[in-house]
Amino acid sequence: MAHLVYFLLLSSLLFHFVAEAKQLYNVADYGAKSDGHADSAAAFLEAWAAACRSTEQGTVYVPGGSFVVSHAAFSGPCRNGRVTVQIDGTIVAPSGYGLSGENAEWLAFDGIEGLSINGGTIDGRGASLWACKASGGNCPSGAKSLTIRNSKDVSITGLTSVNSELFHIVIEDCQGVTVQGVKITAPESSPNTDGIHVQGSDDVTITAAGIGTGDDCISIGPGTTNLWIERVNCGPGHGISIGSLGKGYDEKGVENVTVKTTLFTGTENGLRIKTWGKPSDGYVRGVVFEHALMQNVQNPIIIDQNYCPNSRGCPEEKSSGVKISQVTYTDIRGTSASQVAVDFDCSKSNPCSGIGLQDIKLTYGNKPADASCKNAGGTASGFLVPPSCL
């Protein structure tokens, strides 16, 4: 009997110690309602503030249920080494498109060192805004669902993001970010619903993601360095894109990007680099694309240096100043939905250099596809279908 009492006392002390060491801040305790109607933004922000100012590592906990949250900006720095946001339920945007505005953000984390976001679902409820845009109405631009900015040592694991008005996840001006096991979905017709956008950030890793949207599955913006993308299934969508780059003259470049073991199904593009056809001092260099499977992809491999949507904002004689070099494609195979499966349309004033092709097998209608090269130089080796045009 004495042993049992001792065991129960020890268990109680251990539980108390763990609870104290990892403080739990349940949003429901701060007034959040899981009824799918009441705005719980204030409760979420109060729970965050309590966790952030604590000297102990803590967890902001979102229990099961549906919590409506309007704009919420979670700011740092925090006093402890790490704050975890554990989502077991669903965070839902307000109905309509009340989140929208110029460059609006729905859920934003800014200036935090040591942040984990785990599990759960965020639902941007973007359908009404997409319908407005499709009708040609006077619509706001929309809101990005989850933004991580000016932060270090961040992990996003097992999160599901659905129906964002604009980009689903944005990583901007960050260092040391891991995104693992996320699922991102929006209809193929939804405009500008990029899955993950990385910009101005260093040392970002994206693995084991399933992304299907109306725009790029992953888009890579200026100032991105040391980006690793692996085991990503993309479709529908516009593929994995570096760019568009070079819209502004003094834009930062993109360097050291690896994209490997990817699957593209019915996408508009596979592996794409696109730059504006205008002067720029930007660059793309040190890019590795390898082990990709294309299934009925419109443009499996494409470099487009004459990007100028609606022919606005570009010189009459388009020529991109972005310098593209040292880009390799290895073990890219599958089916193209167009005759030209490899399309290098590079800048006349700044030709692509150091392009590498190795072991490519892309077919169109059970026949070898074609390749097209403009202002592109490099080397080719191994089994090549279509034959290299470099």
Is CATH 2.30.42.10 the classification given to domain 95-385?
A: no
Say what the pLDDT of residue 308 is: 82
pLDDT level of residue 251 (50, 70, 90 thresholds): very high
Mean pLDDT for 256-284 is: 97
Say what the pLDDT of residue 314 is: 72
Quote the tokens at residue 103.
């460059």
CB neighbours (10 Å) of residue 127? Answer: 14
User: What are the angstrom distances between the C-alpha of 169 and each of 216, 219, 252?
Assistant: 12, 10, 21
Strands 225-234 and 202-212, bridge-based pairing: parallel
The string of pLDDT tens digits covering residues 291-332 is 999 999 999 999 999 988 776 767 767 789 999 999 999 999
Say what the pLDDT of residue 123 is: 97
User: Is 35 an active-site residue?
Assistant: no
Residue in 168, 194, 197, 215 annotated catalytic: 215
Quote the tokens at residue 368.
């070898």
Say what the pLDDT of residue 309 is: 78
Say what the pLDDT of residue 14 is: 34
Say what the pLDDT of residue 138 is: 86
Q: What angle do CA 256, 345, 218 make, to 5 degrees?
A: 45
Q: 167-204 burial, b if ≥16 CB within 10 A, otherwise e?
A: bbbbbbebbbbbbebbbbbbebebbbbbbbbbbbbbbb
Q: Which of residues 325 and 2 earns the better pLDDT score?
A: 325
Say what the pLDDT of residue 239 is: 98
Contact between 20 and 51 (Cβ < 8 Å) = no
Query: Which of 120, 119, 158, 161 lies closest to 144, judged by CA?
Result: 161
Mean pLDDT, the chain, rounded, equals 92
Quote the percentage of the chain above a pLDDT of 90.
85
Torsion of CA 7, 8, 14, 20, to 10 degrees: -170
The string of pLDDT tens digits covering residues 89-133 is 999 999 887 675 555 899 999 999 999 999 999 999 999 999 999
The string of pLDDT tens digits covering residues 348-376 is 999 999 999 999 999 999 899 999 999 99
Say what the pLDDT of residue 15 is: 34
Pick from 31-45, 60-74, 92-106, 210-224: least confident: 92-106
Say what the pLDDT of residue 9 is: 38
Can you tell me the distance from the alpha carbon of 182 to that of 196, in angstroms, rounded to the nearest whole number? Answer: 10
Residue in 216, 238, 304, 343 annotated catalytic: 238
Say what the pLDDT of residue 366 is: 87
The string of pLDDT tens digits covering residues 128-175 is 999 999 998 888 889 999 999 999 999 999 999 999 999 999 999 999
Say what the pLDDT of residue 8 is: 36
Say what the pLDDT of residue 103 is: 54
User: Is 215 an active-site residue?
Assistant: yes
